[in-house]
């Protein structure tokens, strides 16, 4: 799978991306083979601060769950099926959190 890591913070889009933060979070959630693959394939940050790397995945479902944990710090470039699944989840989450919150349930 091909990924970019190190997107600027969505809270402060002007902030410089920090690919080390995404790498550190990946180290927390992924196994040694994934971290080793990132270390072996990561290039230097591009003009936007993204670092391109290739990581192994066994199947879409576990990769989806693990990469969701990185939030906007990672962008999946391929495979398209995983990218689409992450985009669908992000869209659903955005819709959920953009709704007006009904407030706490009333106690009766």
What percent of the chain is predicted at pLDDT more than 90?
29
For the chain, give the mean pLDDT: 80
pLDDT at position 66: 87
User: d(Cα 52, Cα 31) in Å, to the nearest integer?
Assistant: 19
User: d(Cα 53, Cα 55) in Å, to the nearest integer?
Assistant: 7
Q: What pLDDT digit, counting tens, does each position of 44-97 carry? A: 888 888 888 898 888 999 999 988 988 888 889 999 999 999 999 999 999 998
pLDDT at position 51: 86
Strand partners, 4: 52, 75
């Amino acid at each position: 799978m091909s990924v970019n890591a190190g997107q600027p913070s969505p809270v402060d889009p002007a902030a410089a991306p920090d690919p080390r933060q995404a790498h550190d979070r990946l180290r927390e959630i992924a196994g040694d083979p994934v971290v080793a693959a990132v270390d072996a394939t990561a290039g230097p940050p591009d003009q936007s601060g993204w670092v391109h790397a290739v990581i192994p995945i066994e199947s879409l479902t576990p990769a989806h769950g693990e990469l969701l944990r990185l939030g906007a710090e990672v962008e999946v470039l391929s495979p398209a099926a995983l990218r689409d699944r992450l985009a669908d989840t992000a869209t659903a989450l955005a819709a959920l959190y953009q709704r007006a919150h009904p407030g706490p349930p009333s106690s009766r």
